[in-house]
Amino acid sequence: MKKIRNSSTTTTTGGGGATTAMRVIVPLQGVVQGRGGLFLGSVIPCALFYFLQLYLKGRGGRKSGEPPAPPESSPSETHLREVSTLQRVHSRLLLSPRGTSGPAQVSSRANAIAKQADGTYCVGLKRAADDPYDEMNNPDGVIQLGLAENRLSLDMVQEWLADNTRESIISQDLSISGIAAYQSFDGLMELKVVVAEFMSQVIEKPQFFNPAQIVLTAGATPAIEILSFCLADPGNAFLVPSPYNPDLDRDVKWRAGVEIVPVPCRSADNFSLSTTALDRAFNQAKKRGLKVRGMIISNPSNPVGVLYNREMLYSLLDFATEKNIHIISNEVFAGSTHGSEEFVSMAEIIDTEDYDRGRVHIIYGLSKDISLPGYGIGVIYTFNENVLSAAKKLARFSPVSAPTQRLLVSMLSHTKFIQRFIKINRERVRRMYILFAGGLKLLGIECIKSNGGFYCWADMSSLIRSYSEKGELELWENLLNVAKVNATPGSSCHCVEPGWFRLCFSTLREKDIPVVIERIRKISETCISRS
Amino acid sequence: MAIEIEKPAVGLSKVAVSDTHGEYSPYFAGWKAYDENPYDELWNSSGVIQMGLAENQVSFDLLEQYLEKHSEATNWGNRTSGFRDNALFQDYHGLQSFRKAMASFMEQIRGGRAKFNPDRIVITAGATAANELLTFILADPGDALLIPTPYYPGFDRDLRWRTGVKIVPVHCDSSNNFEITPQALDAAYNEAESHNIKVKGVLITNPSNPLGATIKRSTLEEILEFVTRKNIHLVSDEIYSGSTFSGEEFVSVAEVLEARDYKESDRVHIVYSLSKDLGLPGFRVGTIYSYNDKVVTTARRMSSFTLISSQTQQLLASMLSDRTFTENYIKTNRERLKKRHQMIIDGLKNSGIECLKGNAGLFCWMNLSPLLEEPTKESELTLWKSMLHEVKLNISPGSSCHCSDPGWFRVCFANMSEQTLQVALTRIHNFMDRRKAMKSSPDFSSY
């Protein structure tokens, strides 16, 4: 009995794989057990399952939802190397292959995460962090185009902090007991009030956001995870238009155990979402026995950078109503719109139309719009009383530290500073977008016309040798190792068409753009000459 | 004319609708009573005194002084590169300087008797998150952790709610001062097995909450022997390690491991936080220290869900690497807690109330079992209610800590001023006097 259970749990390879594994192994074991006993009953199904996995991988693992294996050693191995050089540290085996015998096992959840070789997304980020480009000191370093963090306006924030930090933390009427003592986990009310105001300032509309519907968390990542825990049970699914932000795989699957069913969008439609595709994905999920509990859209979208117009939002709400599911609208880039198109928040639609509010939830955060990644604040904005109540309690696992909250209350209350910041930041994002997309165009690389976010979704398929995921990854490697440019390949975003890359320009300065363009040009010549 | 069919409201998950958050239990109900009628020396001297909150306010002044003197710790604007490092991509590794400072602080608390490697430190937004995270890593839904009773009521929520992991209690009782015995551990393990529940680890709190006492070295060794024999994990929650009244009495599992050259250490994980020792719960700083590489790597990745802002890390890195400050703080804090503890023990003794002999923590474990009508949980809750509504003291009943002996209560003494504590003691004294009077009066057959 025990042995069967053990082998079932140790052969899972991924969150989604677990249930399918069980479905294959258990009946097989039953069959084999009759003839071959316990031992064969375990070994044969495991072996079959192992070969099945190999077969699936060979067919092109994109469908399995796992990012492709990286070309280099995973950061976890590097980490272990670092650790083992330190004195007086535990000798023993570092990574037992499956952990079946020997040291106490960790959970299959943990095993799946640990084994998951870091995808191209993380590998690239690490390489850029380890060997960062610097005009003076490291001109051959890796230029980071894989990080959607806004460094364009750090100077303004820095200036404000230099002038204001100390008072905001220790002021005469605010003793340390005010900031150090326990507060409610979902954030100070004063902060929620100014965050609500900021949310409407940033979309430049008099849209009212109710502070009482806000839950603050330590970043948008836990905000998405908390909603996943509230809206779906493990094994349920969310529909997500692809290509989508690679982080979502972690946020939704790792601990909440919710599956993502991608809804593919195509270049022919400018990667816009169609309800036909949504419907198809929903039905396919149903056939696979997956219960769809909701959909997650990002608006402005990441990685494509387009906005959802009113009509589209209405159809999404209609769809959600028809299927009785939730909608999570991730609006973290709402303040980084730079085109001529109008940004419409879900909040606006809910206000003006008669939909069931209980199914709508908005994610926001302060790290994209206001250049504060290390100060991560995430916002869950929900219209559902029960979700609000549960999320407030769950925020205890990801709370924002009090001094940071005080600082932000202060900063966001400085209306003049915030107004100036929003205006200038937007101008800078717009300018960088135009320069960058323009530079790429000179190389014959077209981008989807973007109205928001700080990245270009570029079609680099002309540079790839074979029109396939393999070809795309070769280009990614080339870009990283030869051109020394870290870009995010479409495959890690689950894009169904090979050759698309997300290139973030928000960590560059204007003068870095020609350098980037030149580096890409150099390898594009070698790519074209090869094909 | 179509008849409107009411569509079912859009569904929520089991996690969202479960009440594993425990906010209906007496532990939290007491807090509500306090919130509605909080004691204030000047404005509400008949209000409820909060003695159910394990917070350390006795050494705030030391922190305030430090921050006044070292304003550069709070000011990042001037140090250009500092700010850039600060605000950049939030790497889940955490600032090196902060991890180093935490490791050094943890060493100081243990009097240098154990070494901590900064690279084994994983930072989380509080010990609550750290405990939950470890549970996700060590156990699957349906598995169990063994936890000696009485234990912190929050564990029922923190370790079970989202993780789906069960808690199987290891029963300890007053017959041997609630010490953990190998028999009790075995009994709990077998209990779990008999229900086909897979035990993945043991979680101890050392110093113990709610007992307010450190775990003996020999007991730690027995526990280590047990987990090794069963090939399971050991989590040692040491968040009160800096709140021992004397430095020498606390033995960390880290010391025991170091003494045996780290044999079998990759099953051991330590949780720490600055909320109790430094009195900074609002900062939300927790750490996991694991001797297991896989756990460190996985925990680190998972910490993306519970990061500490770089601003806070920077501030604390400065403060905790200042040895003059930390040595003085640790020493002074211990002395003040000891004094406070003595005050409450003496006060209770004068009222005829005994407590478990304690040597750590922000609370004492008070024995009110002689006051119970019957040795039952119901009787205990009746007594708790009268303490709350009549005496206007919020204390935590042992049953909410899963204590098998009824009549024990946890009473916190560090989250208020000395004057307030005195008022509380006076109220208890009066309460006890009234009871004596009532008992000796023939008109009252029952309390």
DSSP secondary structure string, B311-369? HHHHHHHHHHH-HHHHHHHHHHHHHHHHHHHHHHHHHHHHTT-EE----BSSEEEEE-G
Residues B161-188 as b/e (b if ≥16 CB within 10 A, e otherwise) read bbbbbbbbbbbbeeeeebbbbeebbeeb
Q: Using pLDDT thresholds of 50, 70 and 90, give the confidence band for residue A7.
A: very low
Question: In chain A, which residue's Cα lies nearest the Cα of B133?
Answer: A397
Q: Read off the DSSP letter of residue A238.
A: E
DSSP conformation letters of B93-130: T--HHHHHHHHHHHHHHTTTSS---GGGEEEESSHHHH
The residue annotated as part of the active site, out of B27, B276, B344, B428, is B276
End-to-end CA distance of chain A: 58
Mean pLDDT value across chain A: 81
Q: What is the mean pLDDT of residues A15-24?
A: 46
Q: How far apart are CA A157 and CA A177, in angstroms?
A: 27
| pLDDT of the residue at B75 | 55
pTM of the prediction? 0.86
CB pair distance less than 8 Å for B78 and A250:
no
| pLDDT of the residue at A56 | 53
| pLDDT of the residue at A141 | 92
> Dihedrals φ, ψ of A490, to 5°?
-55, -30
Q: How far apart are CA B47 and CA B2, in angstroms?
A: 59
Nearest by CB to residue B125, choosing from A90, A218, A403, is: A218
Q: What is the mean pLDDT of residues A246-251?
A: 94
Per residue, what are the HEC states of A280-306?
HHHHHHHHCCCCEEEEEEECCCCCCCC
Asked if B440 is an interface residue toward chain A (Cβ–Cβ < 8 A), one would say no
CB neighbours of residue A241 within 10 Å: 25
CB pair distance less than 8 Å for A231 and B80:
no
Nearest by CB to residue A165, choosing from B8, B77, B232, is: B77
Residue A148, pLDDT above cutoff 70? yes
| Separation in Å, CA B216 to CA B209, B224, B241 | 15, 12, 13
Residues with Cβ within 8 Å of residue B117, at least 6 apart in sequence: A83, A86, A89, B103
CA proximity to B317, closest of B2, B4, B86: B86
Residue ranges for chain B with pLDDT beneath 70: 1-8, 71-90, 247, 442-447
In chain B, positions 270-329, which contact chain A (CB-CB < 8 Å)? 279-285, 291-298, 301-302, 304-312, 315
> Dihedrals φ, ψ of A327, to 5°?
-125, 125
Joined together, the tokens standing for residue A28 give 């097989």
| pLDDT of the residue at A39 | 53
Residue B276 known to be catalytic: yes
Q: Coil, strand, or helix at residue A271?
A: coil
CB pair distance less than 8 Å for A183 and B279:
no
Joined together, the tokens standing for residue A243 give 């290509």
Q: How far apart are CA A24 and CA A30, in angstroms?
A: 11
**A168-175 own/partner pairs: CB under 8 Å, 24+ apart:** A168/A406, A168/A407, A168/A409, A168/A410, A168/A411, A169/A403, A169/A406, A169/A407, A169/B67, A169/B74, A170/B64, A170/B67, A170/B68, A170/B74, A174/A406, A175/B60, A175/B64
Chosen from A9, A79, A90, A227 to mutate, greatest number of chain B CBs within 10 A: A90
CB neighbours of residue B3 within 10 Å: 4
Q: What is the mean pLDDT of residues A390-411?
A: 93
CB pair distance less than 8 Å for B67 and A169:
yes
| pLDDT of the residue at A13 | 39
Asked if B72 is an interface residue toward chain A (Cβ–Cβ < 8 A), one would say no
At residue B313's C-alpha, the angle toward residues A377 and A86, to 5°, is 125
- Between B164 and A92, the higher pLDDT residue: B164
Tens of pLDDT, residues A33-56: 444 455 555 555 555 555 555 555
Write down how long chain A is: 531
- Strand bridging mode A143-144 / A360-365: unpaired
Nearest by CB to residue B231, choosing from A104, A106, A359, is: A104
Residues of B in contact with A396 (CB under 8 A): 126, 128-129, 158
Q: Read off the DSSP letter of residue A62.
A: G
In chain B, positions 105-134, which contact chain A (CB-CB < 8 Å)? 115, 117, 119-120, 125-126, 128-129, 132
Tens of pLDDT, residues A478-499: 999 999 999 999 999 999 999 9
> Dihedrals φ, ψ of A352, to 5°?
-95, -20
| pLDDT of the residue at B311 | 84
CB pair distance less than 8 Å for B75 and A166:
yes
| Separation in Å, CA A35 to CA A8, A46, A69 | 19, 16, 38
Joined together, the tokens standing for residue B63 give 């922190």
The residue annotated as part of the active site, out of B143, B156, B158, B237, is B237
Residue A472, pLDDT above cutoff 90? yes
| A–B interface: beta-carbon pairs under 8 A | 273
Nearest by CB to residue B129, choosing from A5, A163, A397, is: A397
Joined together, the tokens standing for residue A510 give 């204007």
Sheet containing strand B396-397, edge to edge, reads: B354-355, B363-367, B408-412, B396-397
Tens of pLDDT, residues B230-268: 999 999 999 999 999 976 789 999 999 999 999 989 999
Tens of pLDDT, residues A421-447: 999 999 999 999 999 999 999 999 999
Residue B237 known to be catalytic: yes
Residues A470 and A455 sit within 8 Å (Cβ to Cβ): no
| pLDDT of the residue at B416 | 92
ipTM reported for the complex, 2 dp: 0.92
Residue A143, pLDDT above cutoff 50? yes
CB neighbours of residue B94 within 10 Å: 23
- DSSP H helix total and E strand total for chain B: 15, 13
Nearest by CB to residue A402, choosing from B53, B128, B282, is: B282
The greatest distance separating any two alpha carbons of chain B, rounded to the nearest whole angstrom, comes to 83
Residue A349, pLDDT above cutoff 90? yes
Residue B119 known to be catalytic: no
Q: Coil, strand, or helix at residue A174?
A: strand
Q: Which residues pair with B48 in a beta bridge?
A: B38
Mean pLDDT value across chain B: 90
Which residue matches tokens 């067919």?
A59
Q: Using pLDDT thresholds of 50, 70 and 90, give the confidence band for residue A477.
A: very high
CA distance to partner chain A, nearest, from residue B13 (Å) = 5
CB pair distance less than 8 Å for A401 and B292:
no
Query: Among residues of chain A, what percentage have pLDDT more than 70?
Result: 76
Q: How far apart are CA A193 and CA A196, in angstroms?
A: 5
| pLDDT of the residue at A52 | 58
Joined together, the tokens standing for residue A86 give 């330190």
- Between A24 and A128, the higher pLDDT residue: A128
Q: How far apart are CA B74 and CA B65, in angstroms?
A: 13
| pLDDT of the residue at A275 | 94
